[in-house]
Structure 1
């Protein structure tokens, strides 16, 4: 491979990253903004945007992947293997919600896109795997119920976290929502009485 080909690839990677960075900012501020506005904010031409993302929908799915990467990094930084499993699960769920809160308008926009169930599962699999790992740890330590599969309990925890986010968006205080989420999770995951 020649140096000029390496340079072109590096330029393409930089352009793609700039487009995604700009799309996060622009579309979060104005979900109806066009690709021309994204291109201008990225410092590239509209044609460059189309070279990387043939449609607005493809750009939005790439943005969704970027938000998922942020979510995974935040979950890992929340120390899922530290302390009691119940505390870790709350920390990890809260960390997972932070990028969606930060990109609220974009998250709504992406959530309205048509998606195949398999593609949606694939996109969320790394998130579910991290949560299931915390649940499995809690099951091994006796903190959590072992009668249900960890992936089922993790999926239920995600649904409760989504409900908590919706409740907070509807006007509940963050402290009240956090307390309700914690109590609900502890009841859901509690081991069976002897």
Structure 2
């Protein structure tokens, strides 16, 4: 096989994998129990191609969670929480998290390995810890709750917002607003955008 053909094959493999993950994100958000065949069809590839790339639905779901985690970190990085006041940065962080809620629904329809799920939270936890320290140092955030507790509670509230969306109790916009208000209160921060 020529080098050009091998490169084309690698490009095609990468394109198919990306298409399957993207199709899974969209399809599972609408139909959580969608099969590999349905996801493959939405991606425009054969069911056999999906199985060749991922083997099982569980492996594909893990790839979906990884992709959504990658996107989440990119969105949180774009929120630029190292600049401005701690309260402003917290507001941007919460707004960025709110934009992710509807998309993240797709990743939570199958049980994830708890170790892998914990590892996905580490970058978010590190950003929150640094922000909390900055907010405490500036006097913008409450000092009577431990940093670890605030981080864990923030993540738990994010999961609660996600759950409320998944069961149809709240739409993504309302859940994002409730999440923002709850975390601002938890941190003892004055919301720089009180109209939200």
Bin the TM-score by the shorter chain. Answer: 0.7 to 0.9
Q: Shift of the alpha carbon at 1:154?
A: 2.2
Q: Shift of the alpha carbon at 1:107?
A: 3.8
Question: Normalising by the residue count of structure 1, what TM-score does the alignment of the two structures yield?
Answer: 0.78
Q: Shift of the alpha carbon at 1:85?
A: 0.9
Counterpart-to-counterpart distance in 1, 2:129 and 2:20: 33
2:192 counterpart residue number? none
RMSD: 2.8
Determine which structure has greater relative contact order: mean sequence separation of CA pairs < 8 Å that are 6+ residues apart, divided by chain length: 2
1:141 counterpart residue number? 138
2:59 counterpart residue number? 58
Q: Shift of the alpha carbon at 1:44?
A: 1.1
Aligned residues: 183
Going from structure 1 to structure 2, the CA distance change for 1:81 and 1:45 (only over 3 Å counts) comes to same
Query: Residue 82 of structure 2 aligns to a residue in which SS?
Result: coil
Query: Residue 109 of structure 2 aligns to a residue in which SS?
Result: helix
Going from structure 1 to structure 2, the CA distance change for 1:137 and 1:84 (only over 3 Å counts) comes to same
Counterpart-to-counterpart distance in 1, 2:161 and 2:80: 22
Query: Residue 83 of structure 1 aligns to a residue in which SS?
Result: coil
Counterpart-to-counterpart distance in 2, 1:34 and 1:123: 25
1:131 counterpart residue number? 128
CA-to-partner distance for each residue in 1:154-191, whole Å, 9 max, x for gaps? 2232224444555686459565654343222217xxxx
Going from structure 1 to structure 2, the CA distance change for 1:114 and 1:179 (only over 3 Å counts) comes to closer
Query: Residue 31 of structure 1 aligns to a residue in which SS?
Result: coil
Gap runs ≥5 in structure 2:
190-196
1:68 counterpart residue number? 69
Going from structure 1 to structure 2, the CA distance change for 1:41 and 1:164 (only over 3 Å counts) comes to closer
2:154 counterpart residue number? 157
Moved over 6 A (4+): 146-149
Gap runs ≥5 in structure 1:
188-194
Going from structure 1 to structure 2, the CA distance change for 1:38 and 1:136 (only over 3 Å counts) comes to same
Q: Shift of the alpha carbon at 1:96?
A: 2.0
Query: Residue 37 of structure 1 aligns to a residue in which SS?
Result: helix
CA-to-partner distance for each residue in 1:88-135, whole Å, 9 max, x for gaps? 12321331232222343x24403xx152x3222112212212222222
